[in-house]
Amino acid sequence: MRSIALSGLLAATLCSAPWAALAQVTVDTAQGPVTLEGMPQRVAVYDMAALDTITALGVTPAGTIDNILVPALRDVATDAAPVGTLFEPDLEALAGLGPDLVVVGGRSSTQLAAVSQVAPAIDMTLGTDLLADARARIETYGTLFDKTDEAAALTAALDAGLEELRAAADGQGTALIVMTNGPKMSAYGRDSRFGWIFAATGLEEAVPGLDSATHGQAISHEFIAQANPDWLLVVDRGAAIGEDGQGAMETLRSDLVAGTTAWQQDQVIQLDPAAAYISAGGYASTMAVLDQLTQAFAD
């Protein structure tokens, strides 16, 4: 991160900020309740789940990261000024933008103190109960941006999507969630970052008690064969972050995996990599995964 002199620019920004005269509003964040000086007019967003939900509510970001890996979000943020990356915010560009709120979360949460030098900032990291947190974030952003009616509509659509998915997945057996990263494979259980999928579908774990570490439990083809899931749900991390190289299906393909019920019954679902990995918990991303799963179980 470059060392820059912000004091003069920050003083001008803060003095002219439109939110300064508005009533206070308190919002729940990953760091606890935070009181802001009214409804933000110009927001910079360093979290893709937040960007997803905010834009779904009809809020246009003033600034966001340079390289958006989620195609749908790239399209809705075409007019947003680039203000660095998730891991290295460009504080000079951010100060020049003059936001009255900065949103970080997940991968960018460690930059909260840095961006707070420029403007009020909140950490909206999602917890392990992703569905509950996703719903809570919709409500919070709806209050913050005076979009309560829109937030209610999104929540109703999310609940309807969950109900439809649960009905489609009823009686579908067991599942194993696998993330590939080039030639490497990891499995994720009910208590992991992808555990919300078990909660949403009602599917049973093919292997209960998997390591809940952030990067999952390293596995082999033999592991998948022994688990013999009815459904194999696959997240391709390489594809999600735009890397070239070995794809998920190439990594999985082997005689051992080919003998599983999931492979034999054509019940291998390649989840939308960006929606499932980069912007997970954002409204549109969550709906995309729900719709994809519902369609697969209904076929």
More confident of the two residues 22 and 26: 26
Q: Which of 14-18, 64-68, 178-182 bottoms out in mean pLDDT, i.e. has the lowest?
A: 14-18
| 9, pLDDT greater than 70 | no
**For the chain, where are the alpha helices, taking DSSP H only?**
7-16, 48-56, 71-76, 91-97, 112-115, 130-144, 148-169, 196-201, 221-227, 237-240, 248-252, 255-258, 261-264, 273, 283-298
Q: So what's the pLDDT on residue 179?
A: 97
Task: Name the pLDDT band for 7 (thresholds 50, 70, 90).
Answer: very low
Task: Name the pLDDT band for 276 (thresholds 50, 70, 90).
Answer: very high
Task: Name the pLDDT band for 299 (thresholds 50, 70, 90).
Answer: confident
| 118, pLDDT greater than 70 | yes
Q: So what's the pLDDT on residue 216?
A: 92
pLDDT cut 70: percent of the chain above it: 93
More confident of the two residues 297 and 1: 297
CA distance 26 to 122: 11
What average pLDDT does the structure give for the chain? 92
Q: So what's the pLDDT on residue 1?
A: 41
Q: So what's the pLDDT on residue 16?
A: 41
Q: So what's the pLDDT on residue 245?
A: 80
Q: So what's the pLDDT on residue 11?
A: 42
| 47, pLDDT greater than 90 | yes
pLDDT in tens, 124-145: 999 989 999 999 999 999 999 9
pLDDT in tens, 163-219: 999 999 999 999 999 999 999 999 999 999 999 999 999 999 999 999 877 789 999
Give every CB contact of residue 222 below 8 A, 6+ residues apart in sequence.
256
3-state DSSP assignment of residue 26: strand
Which domains does the chain show, CATH number per domain? 24-125 (3.40.50.1980), 171-298 (3.40.50.1980)
More confident of the two residues 80 and 4: 80
Average pLDDT over residues 69-96: 95
The encoded tokens of residue 161 equal: 């999507």
pLDDT in tens, 221-269: 999 999 999 999 999 999 999 988 889 999 999 999 999 999 999 999 9
Q: Determine contact, residues 218/186, Cβ cutoff 8 Å.
A: yes
Q: What is the DSSP letter of 179?
A: E
Average pLDDT over residues 271-299: 97
Q: So what's the pLDDT on residue 17?
A: 43
